[in-house]
Structure 1
Amino acid sequence: MKSIRYLAFLWISTLLACSNPEQPAEIKAPQTPQKTPQQTSKQTQIDHAKDYHSFANPDVVKVSHIDLDLTADFDKKQLIGTATLTYQKVDEQGKTLILDTRGLTILEVTSGNTPVAFELQKEVPNLGSALHITLPEQGNQVSISYHTSKDASGAQWLTPEQTAGKQYPFLFTQAQAVHARSFIPLQDSPQVRVTYTATIRTPKELLAVMSAANDPVTPRDGVYEFNMPQPIPSYLIALAIGDLHFKAMGERTGVYAEPSILDAAASEFEDTESMLEATEKTYGPYSWDRYDLLILPPSFPFGGMENPRLSFITPTVIAGDKSLVSLIAHELAHSWSGNTVTNATWRDLWLNEGFTTYLTYRIMEMIYGTDRYNMEAVLGYQDLQADIAALPENDEILAIDLRGRNPDDVFSNIPYEKGALFLREIEQKVGRDNFDKFLLEYFNHFAFKSITTDQFVSYLDQTLLTTYADVLDKERIHQWIFEPGIPDGAPMPESDAFSKVDTVRDAWLEGSLSAKQINTQDWTVHQWLYFLNNMPQKLNDMQLVELDSTFQLTASKNNEIAHSWLLIAVKNEYKPAYERLYSYLVGIGRNKLVKPLYRELAKTVEGKAFAKRAFEEAKPGYHPLTVHANQGFVE
């Protein structure tokens, strides 16, 4: 799920990130209060092979392929049709196939033309309802006729008014973490990988695309065929339908978007092909044929989602200057770390996101140079520090205990930034070339498999810990993965470009330099973010007016800069920015950008009332995940 914190960061305050591969300047102790290391007895009791967020029984009967035939009914806001599941018995004595569902209406289950007995169990919070299917005596397929709920947690139906073009409706799905079960009855666990085909029927004026092989020149006839030949976990099955058009960016890359933003998106992300080629040179061939982007309406709750062959992308990163394209590098990197080698349970998410965040930094350095890499690394580190300060200790552990919780709770900067920092430390200790060789072998060894944290630790023990026993030790590895906080002596990225920003910010705060005397002509977006995000919690009215009038911050067109400024405005009740704040909250559904604003507004009575008004207006256009994440701030 995938941002750069681009998925759904639930606790972060802003920004992009990127790690510091080029042998970061030096190793320093992090400026974060350390907490007592501990691995709780609860952690040791976890069954590492068990997915606590799925009813499925793949240890008895395992689904290997899905054939979908679905009609998108925009009037009813339902997907209607059949899912035919091909399975194998792992246990020859198995009599029942157990699937995950949420809010689905199951009409019939058949094998061939013969009805099959089934039972839909009572709904369980965070998990949905188990579907028990009695296996037929012969064959290895069952067909399930069903339709979705109009309130399916993994699907968002947008009216024409909620799209860029304002003429046609739009549908997109978002399956991570456990929302695929809301639009397909299946074994909704990342440890179960399936191939799939699909026939999607739509109004003829609309185009359907999926996380599968898409034909850029397919006729717009209302019936679309798809094939995903590589086995993928359920959370990577994705569908979108709308007034979509295609523009190529390279031999293997292109972008789908509504006509009004197609050219801007293609221009913004034109370096995608170069990113793809650079990643292949270091980490091996791209395994998925094409890599295209789909630009979604602004209600998309994440920065991006790494759906294979077709990453889903928020329009909030179209800044006009390529300043936010680390998101594209992140989603592309998932093609190796996440899509090819996948976390087996949501406890293991850091295996997806920590590796991908590390790769993101490396890709950004390859394409845009070390200076940009260093700046993004510092911003990412500051995001991590903010989460370390805000989260309970048990949520600071890479191999987090999520039993009894909503698996969406796993999304914070911990699996992303702490995971990447851990890998960067290993890189520094064994050397970059050696670590790159390890990653290439790791991706090949576990290709198209889903693995647990414990399997990774075992692999590390057999490889790097054996070869580089003089610089790596098990106790340190254990501390990184199973204990809270950032270990003492962890890498801390630095940037000379930010040192200059610190100097002028300090001078301005002291009153020895006016805002007009600050030369920002050559500042990058990252320097602006660093400038704003490291302001004191409180500024006086004169300071706020001076900053805004000099730099036109309230009117900023860059969504990241606007976010940072609006957060300052809320903390200081700077009312001239509140009209923009209101339109920002109503117009964007990306959780990374809106949640910190709602959280801050909710700290005062007046702010909470303001937040409630904005939320009620925005709610019809928000994705269910965004509604769920912010509802508590306005109640």
Structure 2
Amino acid sequence: MRPSILSLCLVAALAAAGCSRDATAPADTATKEAAVAAADQKAVAEVDEYSYSEPAKVRINDLALELKVDFDKKELAGSATYTLDWTDPKATQLILDTRDITIEKVVGERADGKWDDLKFALADKDKVLGSKLTIETPQRNPRIRVTYHTSPDASGLQWLTPEMTQGKKTPFMFSQSQQIHARSWVPLQDTPQVRFTYTAHVTSPQDAMVLMSADNDPKAARDGDYTFKMPQKIPSYLLAIAAGDLTFQPISDRAGVWAEPGMVKKATDEFADTDKMMQTAERLYGPYRWERYDILVLPPSFPYGGMENPRLTFATPTVIVGDKSLVSLVAHELAHSWSGNLVTFSTPKDGWLNEGFTSYVENRIVEDLYGKEAADMEKVISRNELAAEYKEIDPKLQVLALRPGTLADPDGASSSTVYTKGAWFLQFLEERYGRDVFDPFLKEYFNHFAFQSIPTTKFIEYAKANLLDKHPGKVTEAELDEWIYQPGVPASAPKTLSPRFDAVDAARKAWLDNGTLPAADATAKWSTQEWVHFIDGMPEKLSSEQLAALDKAYHFTGTPNGEIAQRWYPLAVRSGYGQANTAAAEFISRVGRRKLIMPTYAELVKTPDGLKLAETTFAKARPGYHPITTASVEETIAKAKQAATGPAPAK
């Protein structure tokens, strides 16, 4: 998953040379603590605290779905049939994860092929984990079927009215299963430790095209009756579905774009390099094993930048800006076809195994296709964001492999740690060993653990055996453990500089010093990344006159580029530049991508007038937000209101 091409933080002009290690313990203490942490982690490596399921006793091998898409009721209704592997001879229960699902009936298949009713119990709902579904299985049935329907408020589904789509004629529905939202639309062992194949038969209104993270046929007739097959085993968070007014346009014989009719050509032009990206990744890391790679462009309410659903990446339209400057999102989601989808973390505590590896591979693809300077600019931006985040967040969240109990909700992990520190660690290994060694190592790592879910400890064992031991004297075990188990960024982190950003820094300084704007012929050639760096390096606040001058020259207010908007509007709000308020409110109403809109909400709620504008805007925008985005905005506004009124008096 890509929460943002360029993350949410509005960063001051931080040194591109790397992050501080202020939070890191002295070397000798760190080494001892790392050893203890590693031992602790190994003991609990296979425990997924975010799932009720018991995969050590029984596992789902195959899932067969029969579903009906009902836009009027905003529900999916039907059944899920599980083919089971009973690994514990004493087990007589199947425990599944659910959230806000109504269970209507449970039956189990007998040895003679007939089906019997099974007793089941749905526990009270936990705010994060949902409700445990316990099915009594005294006969240890080889197949069990659960008939159910979802809630209109399912956290993993969004239902859009026609007015919320580009075409304004047909309703739209899409899923977002990661991290643990699949359980809100299918009762499942909702843990990445369990991988399964699946088939699905889905019915819908005839004017809705249905797609899934499976074998979508570009030539399929839109008739309201669809069948799907996913022959490769996937974890539950990669289960995906979408339905709406969708049409297809090919990029190559194995890649293409699905989107609303008014968006499909624009998106196909923007993502034209997709097959070239596939070829680069295959050359570096081995064959693409998922047959097709298509991209579904969702409405602007999609809460993330992208989601790596196998064969069908879900993508935000906010990266389609006309110049391919933000297509690293496609490189990122495609990279997941190796790191994440092929080799998967076994628990959300090990999220860096998915996102850190993917961010590293993404950067290698960008470098190969668009040049080292483009790749380096991406690195500098993400590392500046990491440095800014590390000034604020708990050191416990700055480690790659989280300890149990650190994170109450897996959606709340530090994205900068998981993505940027993880990728930085792999660049550290690359530079120590050289690409002639590290590239074959990574290629074989993907091959060795293909279609498996592993904890961090497995990676460490593999790295020690195939890097450290085979090439002694390059990296010590203490350095390996420091990167993985200690907060902050080690002093050994490789540095990245960007000459193009140096020029941006000089232009910004000249303007701040004497009011001289950069030459128009220079800024006309700036990429999105350079504009982002230009704004990121501004002081915390500017005068209204300064902001008006920038606005007059560059038209930041009202910009169609979300990466610029997510930086400009918070700066304008902080600085009291009310001229941007209307455009800021329109932007956060129209876009539901959390990383783009939350910085503006966060600044608005800091003043009484801003809080009122935030509440008014949220009330208007809420019907078009995904439940994940809604929860983030609600929490931000609630905290601001509580801070304004003070704590409740003691009784």
TM tier relative to shorter chain? over 0.9
Displacement of 1:36 in angstroms is 3.0
Select which of 499, 502, 511 maps to 1:499: 502
Q: Is the CA contact (8 Å cut-off) linking 2:377 and 2:529 kept in structure 1?
A: yes
Query: Structure 1 residues 13, 64: closer, same or farther in 2, change over 3 A?
Result: farther
What do the CA deviations read for 1:394-431 (whole angstroms, capped 9, x no partner)?
A: 11111123526011012521100000000000000000
Match of 1:573 among 573, 576, 581: 576
Q: What is the aligned partner in structure 1 of residue 614 from structure 2?
A: 611
Q: Distance in 2 between matches of 1:191 and 1:2?
A: 21
Query: Match of 1:499, SS?
Result: helix
Across the aligned residues of Structure 1 and Structure 2, the Cα RMSD in angstroms comes to: 1.9
Matched AA of 2:136: T
Which AA in structure 1 matches 2:280? Answer: A
Residue 342 (structure 2) pairs with residue 373 (structure 1) = no
Structure-1 residue corresponding to 2:169: 167
Q: Does the residue aligned with 1:606 lie in a helix, a strand or coil?
A: helix
Task: Out of 99-108 and 507-516, give the one that drifted further.
Answer: 507-516
- Is contact 1:28–1:490 with CA below 8 Å preserved after alignment? no
Please say if residues 111 and 136 of structure 1, whose CA atoms lie closer than 8 Å, have aligned partners that are also in contact: no
Matching residue of 1:184: 186
Is the Cα contact below 8 Å between 1:121 and 1:131 reproduced in 2?
Answer: yes
Instruction: Please state how far the C-alpha of 1:373 moved relative to its aligned partner.
Output: 1.1
Aligned equivalent of 2:93 = 96
For the residues of structure 2 that align with 1:626 and 1:396, how far apart are their CA atoms?
24
The answer to whether the 8 Å contact 2:23/2:395 transfers is no
User: Corresponding residue for 1:249?
Assistant: 251
Q: How does 1:137-156 map to 2 (within 5 A)?
A: 137=139, 139-156=141-158
- Change beyond 3 A, Cα 1:614–1:108: same
2:112 corresponding residue in structure 1: none
Equivalent position to 1:508, from 499, 511, 516: 511
In 2, the alpha carbon distance for the partners of 1:624 and 1:401 equals 28
Code of the aligned partner of 1:470: G
SS of the residue 1:203 aligns to: coil
1:539 aligns with 2:542: yes
* Alpha-carbon separation, structure 2, partners of 1:602 and 1:127: 29
Q: Distance in 2 between matches of 1:14 and 1:115?
A: 58
Structure 2 residue runs without a partner (length 5+):
110-114, 639-651
Shift of 1:28: 5.3
Moved more, 98-107 or 410-419: 410-419
Worse-matched range after superposition: 288-297 or 103-112: 103-112
| Partner in structure 2 of residue 467 of structure 1 | 470
Query: Which of 520-529 and 164-173 deviates more?
Result: 520-529
Of 24, 27, 36, the residue aligned with 2:25 is 36
Q: Which of 106, 111, 116 is matched with 1:109 structurally?
A: 106
Counterparts of 1:512 and 1:601, CA distance in 2? 28
Q: Say whether 1:59 aligns with 2:62.
A: no
Answer yes or no: is the 8 Å Cα contact 2:4–2:304 preserved in 1. no
**1:12 offset after TM fit, Å?**
3.6
Distance 1:13 1:173, change over 3 A: farther
Match 2:126 to one of 95, 101, 124:
124
* Structure 2 CA distance for aligned equivalents of residues 562 and 60 of structure 1: 50
Over residues 185-223 of structure 1, what are the superposed CA-to-partner deviations in whole Å (9 max), with x where a residue is unaligned? 110000100100000110001100000010011111101
1:240-282 residue CA offsets vs partner (Å, 9 max, x unmatched): 0000000001111000000011110000001001100111011
Kept in 1, the 8 Å contact 2:285–2:442? The answer is yes
Spell out the pairing of 1:121-520 with structure 2 (5 A cutoff). Answer: 121-135=123-137, 137=139, 139-401=141-403, 403=405, 405-511=408-514, 513-514=516-517, 519-520=522-523
Over residues 501-560 of structure 1, what are the superposed CA-to-partner deviations in whole Å (9 max), with x where a residue is unaligned? Answer: 111111110016245678312211111111111111121122111111011111322111
SS in 2 for 1:51: coil
Whole-angstrom distance in 2 between the partners of 1:138 and 1:349:
33
Q: 1:86 to 1:49 in 2, by over 3 A?
A: same
In the alignment, is the contact (CA less than 8 A) between 2:293 and 2:312 conserved in 1? yes
SS in 1 for 2:262: helix
C-alpha spacing 1:5/1:135, structure 2 compared with 1 (3 Å):
farther
SS in 2 for 1:358: helix
Q: Give the distance between the partners of 2:620 and 2:295, measured in 1 at CA.
A: 29
3-state SS, counterpart of residue 142 of structure 1: strand
The answer for the alignment partner of 2:631 in structure 1 is 628
> How far is 1:98 from its partner?
0.6
- Going from structure 1 to structure 2, the CA distance change for 1:138 and 1:593 (only over 3 Å counts) comes to closer
Structure 1 runs (4+) greater than 4 angstroms displaced: 3-6, 26-29, 37-46, 515-518
Could you tell me which amino acid in structure 1 is paired with residue 470 of structure 2?
T
Shift of 1:42: 8.2
Amino acid in structure 2 at the alignment position of 1:295: V
CA contact (8 A) 1:269 1:325 kept: yes
Secondary structure in 1 matching 2:351: helix
What TM-score does the superposition give when structure 1 sets the normalisation length? 0.95
Q: Is the 8 A contact 1:252 1:289 kept in 2?
A: yes
What residue is the counterpart of 1:86 in the other structure?
83
- Tell me how far 1:120 sits from its aligned partner: 1.0
Measure, in 1, the Cα distance between the counterparts of 2:258 and 2:544: 45
TM-score scaled by length of structure 2: 0.93
| In structure 1, distance between residues paired with 2:130 and 2:20 | 42
Q: More deviation in 173-182 or 44-53?
A: 44-53
Structure 2 SS opposite 1:387: helix
The 8 Å contact of residues 101 and 184 in structure 1, kept in 2 or not, is answered as yes
CA distance in structure 1 between the partners assigned to 2:56 and 2:445 by the alignment: 25
Once residues 11 and 70 of structure 2 are traced to their aligned partners in structure 1, the CA distance between those partners, rounded to angstroms, is 37
Distance 2:391 2:472 in 1: 33
Match of 1:59, SS state, is: coil
Supply the distance in 2 between the matched residues of 1:467 and 1:391 (Cα, whole angstroms).
37
Deviation at 1:35, TM superposition (A): 3.8
Which whole-Å CA distance do the structure 1 matches of 2:497 and 2:22 have between them? 19
With over 3 angstroms needed to count, the CA separation of the structure-2 counterparts of 1:517 and 1:219, relative to structure 1, is closer
Identity %: 44
> Comparing 602-611 with 232-241, which one deviates more in the overlay?
602-611
Distance in 1 (alpha carbons) for counterparts of 2:577 and 2:530: 23
Secondary structure of the residue that 2:145 maps to in structure 1? strand
Q: 1:19 — aligned with what?
A: none
Q: How far 1:388 moved relative to its partner?
A: 1.2
Q: Residue 4 of structure 1: CA displacement?
A: 5.0
User: How far apart, CA to CA, are the structure 1 residues paired with 2:554 and 2:175?
Assistant: 39
- Check the 8 A contact 2:4/2:595 in 1, yes or no: no
Closer/same/farther in 2, CA of residues 182 and 510 from structure 1, 3 Å limit: same
How far apart, CA to CA, are the structure 1 residues paired with 2:414 and 2:69?
A: 30
Describe the superposition over 1:553-586 as per-residue Cα deviations: whole angstroms up to 9, x where unpaired: 1132211112221121112121111111000010
Against the structure 1 CA distance between its residues 92 and 503, is the aligned structure 2 distance closer, same or farther, given a 3 Å change threshold? same
Q: Distance in 2 between matches of 1:620 and 1:329?
A: 31
